[in-house]
């Protein structure tokens, strides 16, 4: 656990991003899943359920930058390490491997000029597009706001709709659940 903490402090931001976001694309069917790899590893490998639960409970959506999210995870680990002088070691072969990721953004053929077109596009775009505009968008300026909410508010004046989308916790939904929810906000 102390090694996990040590490396987490210094790894590139894309590592923090990978280990707190890749489950969204990889485990569509298994939702709800532990929302980050740190929680999963601590529970399933180190058998430390208490700290695993605390790590899983970190509310990712509250943090508008990866640095802030990293600090929240580090603080949780520090609290635990201060209380626990004796630490368990991961069995050989089950070490935590920090991974980093690269983002590729490629334009699609979909363009929306009004709410009707926006809904039509939303029905057709791939989950990678949703992922990019909702999760990745929140981590780009303006921080904490998805690309969808930002566009709807600034370009269509749809403040209430933008607010509703921003109030969603997308981390607790499958990507298709998220798609349906946003379409529902517009069409209902």
Partner 1 sequence: MPQLNDYEPIVGAQVLEELRYLAQALKGQRILHINSTAVGGGVAEILNRMLPLLTELGVESRWDVVKGGEEFYSVTKKIHNALHGHAQMFTPRDYEAFEEVQEANLKNMALDEDIIFIHDPQPIGLVKRKRDCGNRWLWRCHVDVSNPQREIWNFLEKYLQFYDKAVFSSPSFSQRLPIPQVLICPSIDPLSEKNRELMPDEISAVIQRLGIPLDKPLVTQVSRFDRLKDPVGVIKAFRQIQKYVDARLLLVGGSATDDPEGAQVYLEVKEAAGDDPDILVLLLPPTAHLEINAIQRASTVILQKSLKEGFGLTITEGLWKGKPVIAGAVGGIPLQITHKYSGILVHSIEGTAYWLKQLLQEPAFARKLGENGREHVRQNFLLTRHIRDYLLLFLSLDPNLKLH
Interface residue list for partner 1 (CB under 8 A): 12-14, 26-30, 93-95, 97, 99-100, 102, 104, 106-108, 124-128
Rounded CA-CA distance 126/86 in Å is 47
Calculate the alpha carbon distances from 146 to 34, 41, 137, 142 in Å: 23, 29, 5, 8
Of 71 and 164, which CB lies nearer to partner 1 in the complex structure?
71
Per-residue tokens: 117: 């077109």
Q: What angle do CA 86, 98, 6 make, to 5 degrees?
A: 40
Of 82 and 92, which CB lies nearer to partner 1 in the complex structure?
92
Residue 101: CB minimum distance to partner 1, A: 9
Of 104 and 111, which CB lies nearer to partner 1 in the complex structure?
104
Per-residue tokens: 66: 């990866």
Residue 102: CB minimum distance to partner 1, A: 5
Of 32 and 157, which CB lies nearer to partner 1 in the complex structure?
32
CA 157, 159, 162, 164 dihedral sign is negative
Residue 49: CB minimum distance to partner 1, A: 16
Residue 84: CB minimum distance to partner 1, A: 26
Say how many Å lie between the first and final Cα of the chain, rounded: 48
Contact 73, 8 (CB under 8 A): yes
């Amino acid at each position: 656990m102390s090694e996990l903490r040590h490396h987490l402090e210094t790894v590139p931001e894309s590592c923090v991003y990978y280990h707190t976001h890749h489950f969204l694309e990889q485990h569509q069917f298994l939702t709800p899943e532990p929302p980050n790899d740190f929680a999963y590893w601590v529970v399933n490998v180190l058998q430390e359920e208490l700290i695993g639960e605390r790590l899983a409970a970190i509310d990712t959506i509250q943090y508008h930058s990866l640095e802030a999210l990293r600090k929240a995870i580090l603080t949780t680990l520090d609290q635990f390490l201060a209380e626990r002088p004796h630490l368990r070691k991961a069995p050989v072969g089950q070490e935590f491997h920090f991974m980093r990721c690269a983002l590729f953004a490629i334009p699609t053929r979909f363009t929306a000029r009004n709410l009707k077109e926006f809904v039509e596009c939303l029905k057709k775009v791939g989950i990678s597009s949703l992922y990019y505009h909702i999760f990745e968008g929140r981590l780009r300026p303006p921080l904490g706001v998805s690309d969808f909410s930002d566009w709807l508010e600034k370009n269509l004046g749809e403040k209430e709709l933008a607010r509703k989308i921003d109030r969603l916790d997308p981390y607790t939904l499958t990507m298709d659940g998220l798609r349906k929810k946003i379409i529902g906000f517009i069409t209902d």
